Amino acid sequence: MLSGLDHLVVTVTDISRAVDFYSRVLGLDVRYRDAQRVDLMLGDTALRLHQTDTDIAPISATPTPGSLDLCLRCQLPLNEFKQHLDALAIDVELGPVARQGATGPIESIYLRDPDGNLLEICRPSSR
């Protein structure tokens, strides 16, 4: 019946700050749909940004910046990705650590976006 994820809405306090972080730090492509609607592309899936003080409907019952816990797959080895984060002075909260992903064992690094959302960056592991 269902075949995948089209987009996930991320509630943020400042669209431009979120765009800067997700494009500069995570390398996501930015697509502006209009002044209040921005998509950050992950292949054919989008992280759709909604700013808290905009009037976009319908929305979730309690849209709250900083409530997202999202795991993103990384193509680079995690030590290279961590070097990228270090060069940008982005704090790593935890990792690399062994975890279980949707399709098997993964190794993960945890960090936060400007709104405090927890981002897990993972890569398949061989454990």
Give the tens place of pLDDT for each residue, 96-124: 999 999 999 999 999 999 999 999 999 99
d(CA 74, CA 68): 18
Tokens describing residue 3: 């075949």
Q: Which of 80, 93, 107, 120 is catalytic?
A: 120
Q: What is the pLDDT of residues 35-69, one digit of tens each?
A: 778 999 999 999 999 999 887 888 888 889 999 99
Q: What is the pLDDT of residues 5-31, one digit of tens each?
A: 899 999 999 999 999 999 999 999 999
d(CA 76, CA 122): 10
Using the structure block, give the residue that is written with the tokens 């990705």: 81
d(CA 121, CA 119): 6
d(CA 2, CA 92): 34
d(CA 78, CA 75): 9
Write down the H helix ranges in the chain: 15-20, 78-87
| CATH class of the domain at 7-124 | alpha beta
Among this protein's residues, is 120 annotated catalytic?
yes
